């Protein structure tokens, strides 16, 4: 199940105390999911005893965030068969490597976003991904063309 800001918000104190530097708990939940804030920034959650149970739950649901890459991309190694569909369809790969990955071959450039290594797809260089940074586009082309559902994104 994808994690949404609302799932996180429901477990926060919802007091809008502003101790984290955000105006509301909802905006804190958004930034937490974008990994611009850390859960430890929510001081009441850690300091006040009445939020003990909520804290445990929230730490539990935030675990997948640790596995995810900077763009929220998660590759499940057990499901991947190394078909390379994701490598070939990536619009950045097509633009940067028109005679390599764009026509179905292995990469001719040094640092592709994804590459197939030892029969599994491996994330190499996310800094050129469309989803990276502040002006990002929520591109899901690699996930859409994965036959085994090995690729997923945090937001679903």
Binding site for another protein (CB under 8 A): 80-85, 87-89, 94, 98, 102-107, 115-120, 144-145, 147-148
Minimum CB distance to another protein smaller for 61 or for 116: 116
| Residue 66 parent element (H or E) | helix 63-67
- In the complex, minimum distance from the CB of residue 105 to another protein, in angstroms, rounded to a whole number: 5
Residue for token pair 């499901």: 79
Looking at beta carbons only, is 10 or 122 nearer to another protein?
Answer: 122
Give the three-state DSSP class for 42. Answer: coil
d(CA 73, CA 83): 18
Structure tokens that stand for 101 in this block: 């990955």
**Alpha carbon 55 to chain centroid, angstroms:** 22
Closest distance between another protein and the C-beta of residue 95, in Å? 11
Report the nearest approach of another protein to the CB of residue 129 (Å): 19
């Amino acid at each position: 199940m994808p994690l949404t800001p609302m799932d996180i918000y429901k477990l926060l104190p919802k007091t809008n105390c502003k101790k984290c530097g955000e105006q509301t708990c909802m905006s804190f939940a958004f930034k937490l999911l974008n990994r611009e804030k850390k859960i430890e920034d929510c001081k009441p959650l850690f300091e006040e005893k009445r939020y003990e149970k909520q804290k445990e739950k929230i730490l539990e649901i935030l675990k997948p965030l640790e596995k995810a890459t900077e763009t929220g991309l998660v590759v499940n190694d057990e499901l991947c068969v190394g078909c390379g569909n994701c490598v070939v369809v990536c619009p950045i790969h097509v633009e940067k490597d028109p005679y390599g990955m764009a026509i179905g071959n292995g990469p001719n450039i040094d640092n592709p976003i994804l590459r197939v290594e030892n029969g599994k797809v491996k994330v190499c260089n996310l800094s050129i991904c469309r989803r990276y940074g502040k002006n990002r586009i929520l591109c899901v082309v690699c996930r859409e063309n994965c036959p085994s559902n090995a690729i997923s994104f945090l937001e679903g």
